[in-house]
Chains A and B, each alone.
Chain A
Amino acid sequence: MTTYRIGIDVGGTFTDCVLKRPDGSLLLEKAPTTPLDQSDGVMAGLEQLAAAEDMSLRDLLTGTLTIVHGTTTGDNTMIQMTGAPTGLLVTRGFRDEIEFRRCYKEDIWDPTLPAPEPIARRRVRLEIDERMTAEGEIDTPLDEEGVRKAVARLRAFGVTSIAVAFLHSYLNPRHERRARELILAEYPDVEMVSLSHEVHPKPPEFERTSTTLVNAYVGPPIARYLRRLTERLADNGYAHELLVATSAGGVATADAAARRAVATLGSGPTGGVSAAARHAAAAGLGDVVSVDMGGTSYDLCLIRDGRPDVKMDWNWFQRYCVGIPMVDIPSVGAGGGSIIWQEQGVLHVGPQSAQSTPGPVCYGRGGLEPTITDADLVLGRLDPAGFHGGRMELDVAGARAALADLGGRVGLDAEQVATAAVRLVDAHMTDAIRRVLSLAGADPRRFDLVAFGGMGGVHAATQARALGMKRVLIPRAAAGFSALGLLAADHVIDGSRGYLSPTAQADRGHLAELAADLEGSARAELRIANVPDERVRLEWSLLLVYPGQTFDTSIPVADPCEVEAAVAEFHRRNAEARLIEARAQEPLLRGIRLTAVGEVDRPADPELPESGVVGPVGHRRIWAGERWHDRVPVYAMESLMSGFVIDGPAAIGGTFTTVILAPGDRARPTPTGDLLIEVAG
């Protein structure tokens, strides 16, 4: 029986479907994304794959072992604020944490910035008499009658999804659990009940409340969507679990994803990041920064020791705090579609984008404002005839006219505007990389760059040079990279339990109990996903802080009871990173965390044969390395085989991507066909 693997990544414009055949070879198809019900686009993409393989959809799906799906249903729900009517039950006195936001506001200079659109207005945030102490002991017993009345009231307000966030429930969940029983008894057809100690079992209250509320809000639409897609796939012969990408960079079963829907938010770019990590390792690179430069945004991620950086607690998503672990992929509004404009004689680039419609001027779809794509085109860095594999002719004259028109207002000609705009966008992007690295306390010169997305290869070498990076990797499958990456993602079950104690007094027995509890539920989850026990890897950490610190640090330990080792490592990390005298303070234990990784099968990528000399397919005048070069050779990416070396200035054109080399840059294909550039100093 054939065993295909399929990755499906829903983007803003296209739904990318990648089919991996048993021999490791790939097929990419793109179908238009269908925002109202993304499963239509998914099914259309699958039909295209089947047609390209010359099979029926049923035969394809019957022969498919795994489908991994990245969905933006939750993201769109948050962007459009179209989630379930949601209510919130809280401890008496703590009705307004979600509005206080620990005082955080997004713009300190703008008093007119409006409040975020509420998920649950104050009228459906109801207080319950109950209280746990910071030791997890009952201070005020749960007012069960109060819960019943509150639920009746929420129901009368039309609420269909209820979040419960009681203080210190991460230490003692008894009241939250009892509240769920009461809710279900009072309101049996409630769509969803989200308990804070299950969604994000950690202090402090704001982060946990917000995360739980978001889960309650996006949960019902995501559950409905996944149910519909699962049924459509099953109806067409798919017999295995649908796997869904999560924000932690892993996958979960559709069922698990629906229950903890918040964990699918922001999962879109994680596929590309997983793929970048894998391709960087295959090319022999060390720590890398991955950058995805598409039309509207520039997404960055640090990958250290082969793993994308994951952030928890203070994550902000569409103006709500989502505290669960998320692959940290900051995004800046800069890409090929970024609009070039001027104000009082000063040129600016972005963050406004021409999007895919109308798009850059050179697309000829009615775009009037010049963009970075137009600038790159006028600078010879894009092939007007070869864009999107020649499916799209670019209008050079139109781009030039738009740039000249703008230039007329600031005293520049079209090419000067283009070079200025490219310098500006490269500066934005290198600054963005510097900021990300500084947050991690890392030196850019110790990193390599992995660049993908349609425009990544055009700008990557320049950016690497500005940052003092030595090497850039451009994956051959730069388009569809995210969908491909989904196939490489492992199952990741991330769980934590709160346990507050001075480290010296930490009760090993209690830690062992919590660990057994975490391990049990993670293994159960992975068994549902058909991951055999021997392919499960457990990664433990203890959460530590110095007294007075708010955000804790996750310290990896081999065994969850190794408190001393964690304390020593915590001191060491602080001493190393902080220039600080050894701490006299004893750290506090805040909790225990388990990341259970279920490894998926990954067929190896086929190696390309070595080749001899490949000739250029043409020549163009190109601006690279801050100046013009006449008659620069242009190579076809697909024809390059390993062993061949290209010295800049040069251009390398692929179906959906272009690579520009400046003088001194040297590129060679890796054995699996990616392009590795050594950047001139």
Chain B
Amino acid sequence: MTVQVSSPVDVVTATVIRSAMETICFEMATYVSRTATTPILNQSNERNATILDATGRLAALSVGIPQFMLSSTLPVRFAADFFAGDLHPGDVLIANDPYHGGGHLPDVNVFAPVFDAEGTLVLFASIQCHHGDTGGAMAGGYNVFAKDIWSEGVRYPVLKLVDRGVERKDVVLMMRANNRLPGFIGDLRSQVGAAQLGARRLTEIIEDYGAGTVRAAVEWSIGDATRRFSAEIAAWPDGVYEADVYVDSDPAGNTDIHVHVAITVEGDRLIIDFEGSDTRPHITAWSTFGNTRGNVIAQLASLVDPSIPKNEGFFHCIDLRVPPGCCLNPPEGKPVSSGTHHPGVEVGDAIALAMSQIIPDRCCPQSYKFGSPRQMWGDADPRTGVAFFDHGGEVSAGWVSAAKGTDGWGALSASNGNLIKASAEINEQLFPHILRGRNYLTDSGGPGRWRGGCGSHFVKEVRTPTRVNQYIVNQRHTHPGIAGGHDGTPDRCTVGTVEVSPAVSGVLLQTGERLDYRFGGGGGWGDPLLRDPQAVLDDVWDEYVSVEGARRDYGVVITGSLAEMTLALDLEATEQERKARR
């Protein structure tokens, strides 16, 4: 039944089918944007559409967030096995369980099998979205203080939400009963509609081209990514490259959560082994296997030609070894709310650091150091008398690494470039606070030949008594520099008079008190003593760097004053200063 893609004309058909699949992913994601009401779904683009083949291999994907797009395959694979022989046209399934392929509970996968005219399963259309609540002990779907998965929320390993075209009202009722948000079922139905749209469009494509050709096109596309990715690997020097990265502390206070990676380059293949990573059973920072795998691939994808299609081909070139029981592949039952992010994203840092030993020019950690979402709530907004809950989704800047040739810029790394974050003006309408500022912090970007992006100074003043949850990282183990670039500055946060380290829960701010968060900068790239002195002078004019910082971090001597507009380079002194440091 399989048609070989043997001639270049078949390749044209295959590329046309691939392009159509990418468009279908786009259509599914757009459908959710148009139809969901939860802001994180309809406006921040945290929705990841994928198409998988009958065995759950990734065929195509669309906009979203790399780590999560790439982690959406395993729940589908589990479902395909679980319901083997019992999937039918018109079925739509949902899954969110971190221990059946998922990342964390708020990320709900909705997917529909697609069949050919003979009733043979050919593809899946899948859409994963982040939801605002998961049931469990704490509103908001982010209970970083949970001691186990059950106190984080309700697990759905896989359910048929729609059975042969008919919505199961028992399942809908159960899901509604287990969620705090009135819009939850509506948002789920938005995903269902998207999956059905995807399935319908894929069915048309199967009708047009035949299932054999579509399968062959998927095979070719995966092969194409495999070939191009492995060609890049083959150009890397063989050897074993290791790195260690730490998270300051989990929310419970267990310090120095350890990620260790050893990457073996062997011809055109990689062995990525996390043996040696943290195995303490009592920590609360756990990244599931699916989440770890997504972070591995997301970082690797950023190291290679960005035009390589993102599909199963990436996974084909890698032998991924994550020892069961370590913090990156937890035993069933461990909490994952904080671990999805930390040590989840530190996996990317570790890979960037390890690979920077051989391909520094391509390495730029695509991570963030969010800790957890800031939660602020109170009994009554004085303007309306209504209780409020602020998930802290506003813009702030931090942890943007420099890449070779490019200073860190913007607010977050490229991999978060689809997250459109909330504004001060709108959030001040919704919540009783006033944002006093969030400017870049001078001297916070990690020095380097290319400078890390600056962190920002975020100050929120409450207009009524407000309680705060906050967990922070990046205080001791800060965002890493690459190739001789320095690390970014640490995060610091005070809630009123309370210094957060690593977490506070339910701290009360009185009217007029402030949350003061200094977000750390990104890591630099390359030796800061090699930075063009003119670029340093420009940075001083623009207050990304101070006159003192220029001398201390870059060995660049600048005379005059910014206030008087008399800044100038002392090239001679700079040369001496730099020579003395070498």
A120 to B421, CA, bound (A): 23
Measured between C-beta atoms, what is the minimum distance from A202 to chain B in Å?
A: 9
A439 to B403, CA, bound (A): 34
> Which of chain B's residues has its CB closest to A547's CB?
B430
Tell me whether B420 and A110 are in contact (CB under 8 A): no
Measured between C-beta atoms, what is the minimum distance from B208 to chain A in Å?
A: 9
- Asked if B494 CB lies within 8 Å of chain A CBs, one says no
> Which of chain B's residues has its CB closest to A133's CB?
B434
Measured between C-beta atoms, what is the minimum distance from B563 to chain A in Å?
A: 9
Tell me whether B543 and A122 are in contact (CB under 8 A): yes
- Contact stretch, chosen from A225-233, A241-249, A274-282, A408-416: A408-416
Q: Residue B37 contacts which of A95, A97, A115, A583 (CB distance < 8 angstroms)? A: A583
- Contact stretch, chosen from A254-262, A378-386, A422-430, A645-653: A422-430
Tell me whether A111 and B565 are in contact (CB under 8 A): no
Residues on the B chain within 8 Å of A497, using CB? none
Residues of B374-407 at the interface with A, using a CB-CB cut-off of 8 Å, are 383-384, 395, 397, 401, 403-407
Residues on the A chain within 8 Å of B407, using CB? 115
- Contact stretch, chosen from A79-87, A341-349, A556-564: A341-349
- Contact stretch, chosen from A66-74, A511-519, A573-581, A608-616: A573-581
Whether A441 contacts B417 in the complex (CB less than 8 A), given A134-B425, A581-B185, comes out as no
Residues on the B chain within 8 Å of A604, using CB? none
Residues on the B chain within 8 Å of A580, using CB? 35, 37, 183, 186-187, 189-190
Whether A107 contacts B414 in the complex (CB less than 8 A), given A100-B395, A580-B37, comes out as yes
- Contact stretch, chosen from A203-211, A293-301, A483-491, A627-635: A203-211
Q: Is the interface of A mostly helix, strand, loop or mixed?
A: loop
Please encode chain B, from 29 to 62, with 1 for each CB lying within 8 Å of some chain A CB and 0 for all others. Answer: 0110011111100111000000000000000000
Tell me whether A114 and B439 are in contact (CB under 8 A): no
- Asked if A36 CB lies within 8 Å of chain B CBs, one says no
Tell me whether A109 and B26 are in contact (CB under 8 A): no
Residues of B525-578 at the interface with A, using a CB-CB cut-off of 8 Å, are 538, 541-544, 565
Measured between C-beta atoms, what is the minimum distance from B59 to chain A in Å?
A: 16
Tell me whether A134 and B428 are in contact (CB under 8 A): yes
Measured between C-beta atoms, what is the minimum distance from B425 to chain A in Å?
A: 4
Tell me whether B430 and A101 are in contact (CB under 8 A): no
- Asked if B239 CB lies within 8 Å of chain A CBs, one says no
Please encode chain B, from 83 to 125, with 1 for each CB lying within 8 Å of some chain A CB and 0 for all others. Answer: 0000000000000000000000000000000000000000000
A581 to B186, CA, bound (A): 6
Whether A112 contacts B42 in the complex (CB less than 8 A), given A104-B420, A203-B423, A578-B34, comes out as no
Residues on the A chain within 8 Å of B160, using CB? none
Residues on the B chain within 8 Å of A431, using CB? 19-20, 22-23
Whether A500 contacts B429 in the complex (CB less than 8 A), given A133-B434, A424-B16, comes out as yes
> Which of chain A's residues has its CB closest to B416's CB?
A103
Q: Residue A103 contacts which of B395, B436, B439 (CB distance < 8 angstroms)? A: B395
Tell me whether A112 and B424 are in contact (CB under 8 A): no
Measured between C-beta atoms, what is the minimum distance from A151 to chain B in Å?
A: 14
- Asked if B301 CB lies within 8 Å of chain A CBs, one says yes
A314 to B45, CA, bound (A): 13
A127 to B190, CA, bound (A): 43
Q: Residue A112 contacts which of B30, B405, B411, B565 (CB distance < 8 angstroms)? A: B405
Residues on the B chain within 8 Å of A435, using CB? 23, 26-27, 30
Please encode chain B, from 301 to 331, with 1 for each CB lying within 8 Å of some chain A CB and 0 for all others. Answer: 1100010001000000000000000000000
A122 to B368, CA, bound (A): 24
- Asked if A1 CB lies within 8 Å of chain B CBs, one says no
Tell me whether A167 and B406 are in contact (CB under 8 A): no
Measured between C-beta atoms, what is the minimum distance from A510 to chain B in Å?
A: 16
Tell me whether A205 and B423 are in contact (CB under 8 A): yes
> Which of chain B's residues has its CB closest to A583's CB?
B37
Tell me whether A411 and B423 are in contact (CB under 8 A): no
> Which of chain B's residues has its CB closest to A420's CB?
B12
Residues on the A chain within 8 Å of B186, using CB? 578-581
Residues of A578-619 at the interface with B, using a CB-CB cut-off of 8 Å, are 578-581, 583-585, 588
Tell me whether B8 and A550 are in contact (CB under 8 A): no
- Asked if B426 CB lies within 8 Å of chain A CBs, one says yes
Residues of B223-267 at the interface with A, using a CB-CB cut-off of 8 Å, are 224, 227-228
Measured between C-beta atoms, what is the minimum distance from B473 to chain A in Å?
A: 19
- Asked if A307 CB lies within 8 Å of chain B CBs, one says no
Tell me whether A108 and B23 are in contact (CB under 8 A): no
- Asked if A102 CB lies within 8 Å of chain B CBs, one says yes
- Asked if B419 CB lies within 8 Å of chain A CBs, one says yes
> Which of chain B's residues has its CB closest to A574's CB?
B37
Tell me whether A122 and B544 are in contact (CB under 8 A): yes
- Asked if B140 CB lies within 8 Å of chain A CBs, one says no
Measured between C-beta atoms, what is the minimum distance from B313 to chain A in Å?
A: 14
Tell me whether B439 and A579 are in contact (CB under 8 A): no
Whether A441 contacts B410 in the complex (CB less than 8 A), given A156-B565, A420-B8, A551-B43, comes out as no
Interface size on A, residues (CB 8 A): 79
- Asked if A546 CB lies within 8 Å of chain B CBs, one says yes
Tell me whether B438 and A96 are in contact (CB under 8 A): yes
Residues on the B chain within 8 Å of A131, using CB? 434
- Asked if B409 CB lies within 8 Å of chain A CBs, one says yes
- Asked if B496 CB lies within 8 Å of chain A CBs, one says no
- Asked if A434 CB lies within 8 Å of chain B CBs, one says yes
A415 to B58, CA, bound (A): 34
Measured between C-beta atoms, what is the minimum distance from A420 to chain B in Å?
A: 4
> Which of chain B's residues has its CB closest to A314's CB?
B420
Residues on the B chain within 8 Å of A121, using CB? 538, 541-542
A433 to B50, CA, bound (A): 20
Measured between C-beta atoms, what is the minimum distance from B359 to chain A in Å?
A: 13
A110 to B430, CA, bound (A): 35
- Asked if A135 CB lies within 8 Å of chain B CBs, one says yes
Measured between C-beta atoms, what is the minimum distance from B558 to chain A in Å?
A: 14
Please encode chain A, from 119 to 142, with 1 for each CB lying within 8 Å of some chain B CB and 0 for all others. Answer: 001110001000101110001000
Tell me whether A549 and B190 are in contact (CB under 8 A): no
Tell me whether A204 and B424 are in contact (CB under 8 A): yes
> Which of chain B's residues has its CB closest to A95's CB?
B439
Tell me whether B459 and A346 are in contact (CB under 8 A): no
Residues of A338-368 at the interface with B, using a CB-CB cut-off of 8 Å, are 344-347
Whether A112 contacts B37 in the complex (CB less than 8 A), given A96-B439, A107-B414, A122-B542, comes out as no
Whether A549 contacts B43 in the complex (CB less than 8 A), given A115-B409, A435-B27, comes out as yes
Residues on the B chain within 8 Å of A122, using CB? 440, 541-544
Tell me whether B38 and A548 are in contact (CB under 8 A): yes
A95 to B397, CA, bound (A): 12
- Asked if A92 CB lies within 8 Å of chain B CBs, one says yes
> Which of chain A's residues has its CB closest to B456's CB?
A96
Residues on the B chain within 8 Å of A434, using CB? 23, 27
Residues on the B chain within 8 Å of A157, using CB? 565
Residues of A505-553 at the interface with B, using a CB-CB cut-off of 8 Å, are 546-551
Tell me whether B306 and A109 are in contact (CB under 8 A): yes
Tell me whether A578 and B12 are in contact (CB under 8 A): no
Measured between C-beta atoms, what is the minimum distance from B25 to chain A in Å?
A: 11
Tell me whether B302 and A111 are in contact (CB under 8 A): yes
Tell me whether A578 and B16 are in contact (CB under 8 A): no
Whether A550 contacts B306 in the complex (CB less than 8 A), given A133-B428, A578-B186, A583-B37, comes out as no
Residues of A in contact with B (beta carbons under 8 Å apart): 92-97, 99-115, 121-123, 127, 131, 133-135, 139, 153, 156-157, 167-168, 203-206, 314, 344-347, 410-412, 416, 420, 423-424, 427-428, 431, 434-435, 438-439, 441, 500, 502, 546-551, 574, 577-581, 583-585, 588
16 A-B pairs in the complex with CB atoms less than 8 angstroms apart: A100-B410, A101-B410, A102-B411, A104-B418, A104-B420, A107-B417, A122-B544, A127-B439, A131-B434, A133-B428, A134-B425, A134-B434, A205-B425, A441-B31, A580-B189, A580-B190
Closest CB pairs A-B (n = 10) = A93-B437, A105-B417, A204-B423, A115-B409, A122-B542, A134-B428, A111-B364, A580-B186, A203-B425, A438-B27
List 17 additional A-B contacts (Cβ < 8 Å) besides A109-B414, A127-B439.
A93-B439, A94-B437, A94-B438, A107-B414, A108-B63, A111-B366, A204-B426, A205-B424, A314-B420, A346-B8, A410-B8, A548-B39, A550-B44, A577-B35, A578-B190, A580-B190, A588-B429
